[in-house]
Amino acid sequence: MATTTTQASLLLQKQLRDLAKHPVDGFSAGLVDDSNVFEWQVTIIGPPDTLYDGGYFNAIMSFPQNYPNSPPSVRFTSEMWHPNDPNGYELASERWTPVHTVESIVLSIISMLSSPNDESPANIEAAKEWREQREDFKKKVRRIVRKSQEMF
């Protein structure tokens, strides 16, 4: 087990260094606490031309000791209203492959924000509103975006 933890830890340190050297548009990432490479704080900027445009959304990524063999969990700490967010974006284990990096995970979350999938919603209420009361859904998201800008 210790070797797995060490490998995961080295991989996460490398991914952190890579992101520091080559920042990616749309998000920033860093450790919650410098002594723990398994907990990351991520800020996602709402993708342009989407309802989330201009918003700043914070999330915590928690990596398992056997990363990359198992996916991290991602939990928004900012308010979020989205059909695919139950307030804990779980990367489906069956779709998980160890080639994912922090960058590819966050980019998949950004893509989720851009195109909600109401076929397999994690947040049933948000999905129902997205389908049946689109204007109410949009209003709620605009309010969340404004709130996120004030917090930032």
Domain architecture of the chain: domains with CATH: 2-151 (3.10.110.10)
CA pair distance 50, 40, nearest whole angstrom: 25
What would the pLDDT profile of 5-28 be if each residue is shown by its tens digit? 899 999 999 999 999 999 999 999
pLDDT at site 92: 57
The pLDDT of residue 11? 96
Q: For residue 61, give the nearest of 81, 22, 82, 90 by alpha carbon.
A: 90
CA distance 13 to 96: 20
For the whole prediction, is pTM greater than 0.95?
no
Q: Which residue has the higher pLDDT, 1 or 3?
A: 3
Q: Which long-range contacts (CB under 8 A, 24 or more apart) does 3-7 make?
A: 4/65, 4/66, 4/69, 5/65, 5/66
31 pairs with which residues across the strands? Answer: 40
Q: What is the pLDDT of residues 118-130, one digit of tens each?
A: 888 888 999 999 9
